[in-house]
Amino acid sequence: MQDFQFYTPTMVYFGKHMEQRVGSVLKEHGYSKVLLHYGQGSVIKSGLLDSIKTYLDESHIAWIELGGVEPNPKIGLIREGIELSRRESVDMILAVGGGSVIDSAKGIALGLANGKDSVQMQREQLMPTHHFPIAVVLTISSAGSEMSSSHVVTDPETHTKRGLSHDVLRPDFAFLNPELTFSVSKYQTACGIVDTMMHTLERYFTEQKDAPLTDTIAEAILVSVKEAGIIAINNPSDYQARATLMWASSLSHNGLTGCGKTAFFPAHKIEHDISGLFDHIAHGAGLAVIFPAWAKYEYNNDVEKFARLAVKVWDIAYDEEHPEVTALRGIEAMSNFFSAIGMPRTLEELGVPKESWETLASMTTNNGSSSLKSYRPLGKREILEIYHLAT
Amino acid sequence: MQDFQFYTPTMVYFGKHMEQRVGSVLKEHGYSKVLLHYGQGSVIKSGLLDSIKTYLDESHIAWIELGGVEPNPKIGLIREGIELSRRESVDMILAVGGGSVIDSAKGIALGLANGKDSVQMQREQLMPTHHFPIAVVLTISSAGSEMSSSHVVTDPETHTKRGLSHDVLRPDFAFLNPELTFSVSKYQTACGIVDTMMHTLERYFTEQKDAPLTDTIAEAILVSVKEAGIIAINNPSDYQARATLMWASSLSHNGLTGCGKTAFFPAHKIEHDISGLFDHIAHGAGLAVIFPAWAKYEYNNDVEKFARLAVKVWDIAYDEEHPEVTALRGIEAMSNFFSAIGMPRTLEELGVPKESWETLASMTTNNGSSSLKSYRPLGKREILEIYHLAT
């Protein structure tokens, strides 16, 4: 087990109607004015936003609002949020939504606490040092941003989508009511299932062989998500399945599944450029295509681990003589599962034309000058081979 | 899944030499004077205490000290610690030791922050409201107190050992270096293995059938502890096994293994009176005797869950026609495992004479007037039956 730090300070309120506590909890902890941050209207249509405003009013928490967060949140709105929050002297950013809204809220908090925004910090290779309070009312189980240290932002000027991770970005409070996800579409539910699995799997395949506790916990999360995922897709109002998916999305990305290991995250990095360039592509759908292709490209470098996953999660019998067959069957089973819940199998199905491959691979490798960490370095040529395996 | 709150704010520094960071981390977070709290000399003999003093000195953190914590920490020393800390205006309690030292440190912190000590609060049925900072340098993997909300204290006047749990008791920092546990004796290592397993198992057997994610994570922890436990007993300096046991001890009791469930903790409650009355009895050894007896008494009320544990953790084949046989074989396998690592099997081996049963069962049930929660209420008569099953 490698040395690690583990810090998950988020106070989680999990269960039915938990969003109703938002006002009283924030009041109890001394907050007085929040920026209510949300997306493009679903929380308005559902009535959730109005309810949240009521809960805040009832607890005498003042609020201002900034909606309009798009999927793949943009730095422009974050800058607007920083200005607005500063002008209005809010003492907390309250995100009502999913991963994009939370990531946008984290961007605002980062800017408020550190003087520079995340695109500036990444350009200047700076790391944040200060935290600004963040609370979350979650509406989709997927990104795990409600407990994670991650923040992903897109800069439309450069079409780049980049991540920044730091403990100062972990939310202070997360209100997780699985009922709020009953109305999430099958497609978005499936994207969330894939994203949650990926946050676990991208930490599972690493060079460390000596973190068995972390690996068995990862397998526990994957099995639970697989089983609950099928139920939730078939019956969107199954509370227990939605609850499992919601809690799994938080645990998969709060650091627990990476303790004692150094993760590569190659599929995320390859996918970020795809959904950065093609704004309509959902991150989870992109991962459902890229991760199995990456796995087919890399399994030979860690046959036993890929075979172990096949046995523990995908119920494949272990082939003593040919563990590589077990490994490949596991990858196939994973692909079949993604397909069964409605995810695309190929780049073409995903909506990525072959003509864009060259551009994408260049973006991911800084014009071929850098490579991604994986079992072996993935440069432009290797990434193009992975695209080929995704056809 | 039942509604739950989850709050694990402890900042964990895990790995080799992590205790060396104690001074710099506390300085960075603004602390200036600590009460160094420890046990009965092993940290003096090993040189660890002197090293910690040096790390504090190097970071210009002032310290005073209070040693002498006994196994099953006593309220007397806690009261002394409260007085001393108040007089000397310390801003943090730094525990260097295992569960007893940490629990004693928590008792001091509780008293400092809340005006009354934990025995007073329990007598008056009050709950704490305020937190006082606590840091931990852990020297034994067992109690999980380094991340937990629990605090157990013994009042020698009444020979009672009682627990109090509240989020204000969670430590702020935990420095977890598995190397510091290399010198823990085989017996104490075994006690720690049992205690860690119990913190998971006592949350595993509950009335809720709908928390599969929590249950599979629990099984992951149990399997990992079982495998690492045997290695650590046979090779006390195996870093990876010690690391697994240490991280498992923290995860088993930080709340993760109980999310969405209401635990009974009957074996802990029965055992607390045993080691409260017989001060030489180690908590883990007591649990190794009581838990299997409790399981034999209760398995009929949840055959499928006991059978599931047998299959998932103890590698017993599932008997479709007689799941109760699978369940019993699992309990037997657990008992055999405890015995294999050097734990007692019976109350007699534990050092509890039959003459004391009546007294003990009376203590646990307030002279027969109350009962413990379990699948069925455990009054005095039922607890005596459990003692019988522990012979």
On the CB side of B326, how many CA atoms lie within 13 Å of its CA? 22
Same domain, B158 and B240: no
Same domain, B248 and B308: yes
Task: Give the pLDDT confidence score for residue B249 in this predicted structure.
Answer: 98
Residue from B176, B225, B247, B313 whose CB has the most chain A CBs within 10 Å, to mutate: B247
Q: What CATH number has the domain bearing residue B256?
A: 1.20.1090.10
- Between strands B160-165 and B150-155, the pairing is antiparallel
Region A358-383: mean pLDDT is 96
Same domain, A86 and A208: no
Residue from B11, B138, B216 whose CB has the most chain A CBs within 10 Å, to mutate: B216
pLDDT band with cut points at 50, 70 and 90 for residue A162: confident
Q: How far apart are CA B367 and CA B360, in angstroms?
A: 9
Q: Is residue B4 domain-resident?
A: no
For chains A and B, CB pairs below 8 A equal 109
CA distances to A205, A218, A315, B343 from A200, rounded to whole Å, are 9, 6, 18, 36
Q: How far apart are CA B177 and CA A219, in angstroms?
A: 26
User: Which residue among A181, A205, A235 closes a domain?
Assistant: A181
Contact list, B221 vs chain A (CB under 8 Å): 213, 216-217
Q: Is residue A3 domain-resident?
A: no
Write out residues in chain B with pLDDT < 50, as ranges.
none
* Number of structural domains found in chain A: 2
Same domain, B168 and B217: no
Q: What's the gap in Å between the CA of A291 and the closest CA on chain B?
A: 24
CA distances to B273, B300, B332 from B335, rounded to whole Å, are 21, 18, 5
pTM for the full model? 0.97
Contact list, A5 vs chain B (CB under 8 Å): 11-14
Q: Residue B216: which of A1, A18, A223 has the nearest Cβ?
A: A223
Q: Is residue B5 domain-resident?
A: no
The pLDDT tens digits of the residues spanning B345-357 come to 999 999 999 999 9
The pLDDT tens digits of the residues spanning A97-125 come to 999 999 999 999 999 999 999 999 988 99
Q: Which alpha helices (DSSP H) does chain A contain, by range?
A: 22-28, 42-45, 48-58, 75-88, 99-114, 118-123, 186-204, 212-234, 239-253, 266-277, 283-298, 303-312, 323-340, 347-350, 357-364, 380-389
Q: Is residue A364 within 8 Å of A372, Cβ to Cβ?
A: yes
On the CB side of B114, how many CA atoms lie within 13 Å of its CA? 23
Start-to-end Cα distance in chain A:
37
Question: Residue A14 and residue B8: Cβ atoms within 8 Å?
Answer: no
Q: Is residue B3 domain-resident?
A: no
**Nearest CA among B194, B198, B177, B176 for reference residue B186:** B194
Q: Is residue A1 domain-resident?
A: no
Q: Return the structure tokens found at B228.
A: 């690492």
Same domain, A175 and A230: no
Q: What CATH number has the domain bearing residue A125?
A: 3.40.50.1970
Same domain, A142 and A199: no
Same domain, A175 and A265: no
B22 alpha-carbon distance from chain centroid: 23
Q: Is residue A64 within 8 Å of A80, Cβ to Cβ?
A: no
Residue holding tokens 């004015």? A33
Q: How far apart are CA A238 and CA A332, in angstroms?
A: 28
Q: Is residue B2 domain-resident?
A: no
- Between strands B33-37 and B92-97, the pairing is parallel
On the CB side of B174, how many CA atoms lie within 13 Å of its CA? 34
Instruction: Please state, for a pLDDT cut of 90, what percent of chain A lies above it.
Output: 94
The pLDDT tens digits of the residues spanning A64-79 come to 999 999 988 999 999 9
The pLDDT tens digits of the residues spanning A168-216 come to 999 999 999 999 999 999 999 999 999 999 999 999 999 998 999 999 9
Task: Give the pLDDT confidence score for residue B158 in this predicted structure.
Answer: 80
Name every residue in B having a CB less than 8 A away from some CB of A.
1-16, 18, 210, 212-213, 216-217, 219-221, 223-224, 227-228, 240, 243-244, 247-248, 251, 256, 259-260
Cα angle A282-A84-A34, degrees, rounded to a multiple of 5: 80
Q: Is residue B75 domain-resident?
A: yes
Instruction: Please state, for a pLDDT cut of 70, what percent of chain A lies above it.
Output: 100
Contact list, B12 vs chain A (CB under 8 Å): 4-7
The pLDDT tens digits of the residues spanning B92-109 come to 999 999 999 999 999 999
Same domain, B172 and B204: no
Q: Residue B248: which of A14, A15, A213 has the nearest Cβ?
A: A213
The pLDDT tens digits of the residues spanning A9-21 come to 999 999 999 999 9
CA distances to A22, A149, A161, B8, B336 from A9, rounded to whole Å, are 17, 11, 27, 6, 39
Q: Is residue B102 domain-resident?
A: yes
Task: Give the pLDDT confidence score for residue B279 in this predicted structure.
Answer: 82
Contact list, A15 vs chain B (CB under 8 Å): 1-4
| Domain membership of residue A80 as a residue range | 11-181
Same domain, A30 and A54: yes
Q: Is residue B177 within 8 Å of B234, Cβ to Cβ?
A: no
**DSSP one-letter code for B13:** E
Residue from B217, B219, B245 whose CB has the most chain A CBs within 10 Å, to mutate: B217
Question: Residue A221 and residue B217: Cβ atoms within 8 Å?
Answer: yes
Same domain, A236 and A126: no
Same domain, B300 and B235: yes
Q: What's the gap in Å between the CA of A240 and the closest CA on chain B?
A: 6
CA distances to A236, A299, B204, B207, B298 from B376, rounded to whole Å, are 35, 50, 16, 10, 8
**pLDDT for residue A161 is more than 80:** no
**pLDDT for residue A163 is more than 90:** no
Question: Residue B15 and residue A6: Cβ atoms within 8 Å?
Answer: no
User: Which residue among B181, B213, B235 closes a domain?
Assistant: B181
Name every residue in A having a CB less than 8 A away from some CB of B.
1-16, 18, 210, 212-213, 216-217, 219-221, 223-224, 227-228, 240, 243-244, 247-248, 251, 256, 259-260
The pLDDT tens digits of the residues spanning A254-305 come to 999 999 999 999 999 999 899 888 988 999 999 999 999 999 999 999 999 9
pLDDT band with cut points at 50, 70 and 90 for residue A236: very high
Look up the ipTM and state it.
Answer: 0.96
Instruction: Give chain B's radius of gyration (CA, Å).
Output: 20
Question: Residue B11 and residue A7: Cβ atoms within 8 Å?
Answer: yes
Same domain, A109 and A224: no
Task: Give the pLDDT confidence score for residue A72 in this predicted structure.
Answer: 82
Q: Residue A15: which of B3, B227, B243 has the nearest Cβ?
A: B3
User: Which residue among A148, A181, A214 closes a domain?
Assistant: A181
Residue from B1, B24, B149, B209 whose CB has the most chain A CBs within 10 Å, to mutate: B1
Contact list, A179 vs chain B (CB under 8 Å): none
**DSSP one-letter code for A25:** H
